[in-house]
Amino acid sequence: MPPANSRSVTVRQLKLQLEEANTRLAAAQESQEQNAAALEAAQQQIEEQTAALAAVRAQAEAAEAAATQAVLAQQAALNDAGAANAAEPPLQLIPKPRVPRGKSLSIQRSMGLDDDEYSEIRYGIHHLVHNASLAWERDFRHQNVETVARFFHAVSPCLLKLRAREQYP
């Protein structure tokens, strides 16, 4: 039979091993509880983010629908305006001059302007084109819309002067 002393040592070692195992078990359970709490918090955050995403998608769909409606309304308005303009004959401010075959067309002569008047108008047009930053070598159809709008905004006072001059010579 083993001595009583070695038996007490074995019992003490087993108790120590049991306490260590219980301590590790308690730590593992605490870690598992923390992990479960973190997992629950993450799932709740995912649900909140999913709800927020659904709200943003709904807003985006509503905005897209509103934009589509606005575009359709604008197209309808343009179509209506186009139909109204098509019914009216085109406005001709200056009649197209008739030039016999073999002769050249002189805008200055056709408009009945002397050299000074023609130079003044030509300089004014060049000045307005430059101020509006238009590319003078390109057709109006190939210009930037904002640039053309800036040109017409700059030209409008001049046109008013010309119309007043035509009405009240």
Reference 94, options 19, 10, 159; nearest CA is 159
Per-residue pLDDT reduced to its tens digit, 51-100: 999 999 999 899 888 888 888 888 888 777 666 555 666 666 666 667 77
What distance in Å separates the CA atoms of residue 149 and residue 132, rounded to the nearest whole number? 9
Residue 144: its H or E element: none
Per-residue pLDDT reduced to its tens digit, 110-132: 777 788 888 888 888 888 888 77
Does residue 129 contact residue 137 with C-beta atoms inside 8 Å?
A: no
| pTM for the whole structure | 0.34
Q: Delimit the domains of the chain by residue range.
A: 1-92, 107-167
Q: How far is the CA of 24 from the CAs of 14, 15, 39, 158, in angstroms?
A: 15, 14, 22, 93
Q: In sequence order, which residues have a C-beta less than 8 Å from that of residue 124 and are 6 or more positions away?
A: 158
